[in-house]
Structure 1
Amino acid sequence: TKDDVFVKIKVSVQFMVIKEKVYDAFYKLDYPNDQITSYVFDVVRAEVPKMILDDVFEKKHDVAIAVKGELNEAMKNYGFDIIKTLVTDIDPDSQVKESMNRINASEREKVAAQFEGDAQRILIVERAKAEAESKRLQGQGIADQRREIARGLEDSVKVLNGVDINSQEASALIVVTQHYDTLQSVGSASNSNLILMPNSPQAGSEMLNNMVASFTASNQIGEEMKKAALKKEKEKNKE
């Protein structure tokens, strides 16, 4: 071939004797089969070296047409009509066939790897989308939960205010109640490894006292800051 590959080609030729030239077919050639074979070899050796190996496989029909055309022109003078020629087998060297198989295998592996990479990329994208949606819904759920907790606390403070308990004491009482609710939840779980400190009864009382004291102190500080601001404003007005 044109790319220096040795190849064996098998060509089948169908022919018949022309009725009007039976005499020529019988007397002009002693061995017509050998003559046809020689012409086939000559045409194949002339056509195949013009092609690379891949073209030999792809254009074997062109080789068959060239063989038929050459044979028809030559054998009609001897009383033979070439009906059809077929290239039935193309057999390259064994090492070339192994190389071609390796090339095909590499191409298929490349395509398979590409499809696998595309599938992995789609899987990662879809997983990321699902995770983002899960985070969004989780955040929305937490926000709704906190909103409902805030509404519940607001309602609790209003109820306690209705029985002459001020907002500071009500808030402290709610915190202490939640503290004991948390202790109850921890105690109801047999396999819990959560430790809540402090967790003694005195701790709840101390927590309540500390919260009331802190609220009172913060109110006093706020009042002092307001008085100081008013005093400065009066001094500026006098000036």
Structure 2
Amino acid sequence: MDFITFPFLFIGLVVLFSSFFTVKQQTVVVVERFGKFQSLRNSGLQIKIPVVDRIAGRVNLRIQQLDVIIETKTKDNVFVKMKVSVQFKVLQEKAYEAFYKLEYPHDQITSYVFDVVRAEVPKLKLDDVFERKDDIAIAVKRELNEAMTTYGYDIINTLITDIDPDIQVKNAMNRINAADREKTAAEYEAEAGRIRIVAKAKAEAESKRLQGQGIADQRREIARGLVESVDVLNKVGINSQEASALIVVTQHYDTLQAIGADANSNLILLPNSPQAGSDMLNNMVASFTASNQVGEAMKNAHKTKKVNKKDTSDENFGTENSEEA
């Protein structure tokens, strides 16, 4: 090979290799011939005429995402920043329209998102914006689909991923939320306190009932013991009055003994002389005697009254018989 043929051979190899090109998966290559659209090439190894054909551009068929941040005002005059994520792709059968009809698709999509959001959000209050963000996203998707389908774009989904009110509004919302939670906590605490009070009252009532029942049982047993004691004393010749007085005096001295056994007791019984027991016994005997006398007198008076009433009835009966005769 001489020096003259080498450049031609090199140029020929360059031209040969420039005739082949590859297209990646999910990509479409636009080929132009002398500046005019010639064809669309799909993925794989492709060939073109050197110098005559050229690759004008590549169209990505994969799903893409565009994040748009918008600041707008709500119906209650609160400024919020919203982040809208738009997921879109180019339709393979409309790759020609996507490449030649729309030069800056991201700018076009951003403009439509701004237009829809700023038309929808001012109709809603701040709380409604949070609750109805899905409705806003659907409205954005519907508007984008109507506009972008003409250019070969398909809107897969639109998501409102963030709603950020002004910092002062956020602080106010946090305070409202905290106050509401404190109110709920106070209500629960009040209910718990009421339950504790009711339970305590029920426990005290049950305690009083059982205490009263215990006292009643105690007095019943004391009375039964006194009856048995009186019966025993009657058997040895002591009448009921003397037995009752003796029992009372015995209980008096038992009480004094119980009080004296407690070193911390400050109770003082008046009068409390050595003759107190004897005086108490004499007073009780005298009381019982007087009571018996009063009882006997009342019985006699009652008997006399019944006899007089009977005699009067007999006289009236006799008089009536005489008048009839």
Instruction: Give the TM-score normalised by structure 2.
Output: 0.69
Check whether the contact 1:2–1:49 (CA below 8 A) recurs between aligned residues: yes
Deviation of the 1:99 alpha carbon: 2.5
Question: Is 1:218 the counterpart of 2:288 in the alignment?
Answer: no
Check whether the contact 1:11–1:88 (CA below 8 A) recurs between aligned residues: yes
Q: Which 5+ residue runs of structure 2 have no aligned equivalent? A: 1-73, 313-325
Question: Is 1:205 the counterpart of 2:274 in the alignment?
Answer: no
Structure 2 counterparts to residues 125-204 of structure 1, below 5 A: 125-204=198-277
Tell me which of 8, 15, 23 is aligned to 2:96: 23
1:28 is aligned with what amino acid?
K
Distance (whole Å) between structure 1 residues aligned to residue 155 and residue 211 of structure 2: 82
Distance (whole Å) between structure 2 residues aligned to residue 172 and residue 157 of structure 1: 10
Question: Is 1:53 the counterpart of 2:126 in the alignment?
Answer: yes
Structure 2 counterparts to residues 1-40 of structure 1, below 5 A: 1-40=74-113
Q: Which residue of 2 aligns with 1:124?
A: 197
Q: Which residue of 1 aligns with 2:148?
A: 75
- Select the structure of larger CA radius of gyration: 2
2:185 is aligned with what amino acid?
A
Describe the SS at the equivalent of 2:236: coil
The total of aligned residue pairs comes to 239
Q: Which residue of 1 aligns with 2:166?
A: 93
Check whether the contact 1:9–1:91 (CA below 8 A) recurs between aligned residues: yes
Distance (whole Å) between structure 1 residues aligned to residue 231 and residue 106 of structure 2: 117
RMSD over equivalenced CA pairs, Å: 1.7
1:101 is aligned with what amino acid?
N
Question: Is 1:107 the counterpart of 2:180 in the alignment?
Answer: yes
Distance (whole Å) between structure 2 residues aligned to residue 58 and residue 37 of structure 1: 24
Distance (whole Å) between structure 2 residues aligned to residue 20 and residue 63 of structure 1: 30
Deviation per CA, 1:45-87: give whole Å up to 9, x if none.
1221222222211111111111112112211222222222110
Check whether the contact 1:183–1:199 (CA below 8 A) recurs between aligned residues: no
1:81 is aligned with what amino acid?
D
Distance (whole Å) between structure 2 residues aligned to residue 238 and residue 15 of structure 1: 129
Instruction: Give the TM-score normalised by structure 1.
Output: 0.93
Q: Which residue of 1 aligns with 2:33?
A: none
Deviation of the 1:222 alpha carbon: 1.8
Q: Which has the higher contact order (CA 8 A, sep 6+)?
A: 1
Deviation of the 1:238 alpha carbon: 4.1
Q: Which residue of 2 aligns with 1:42?
A: 115
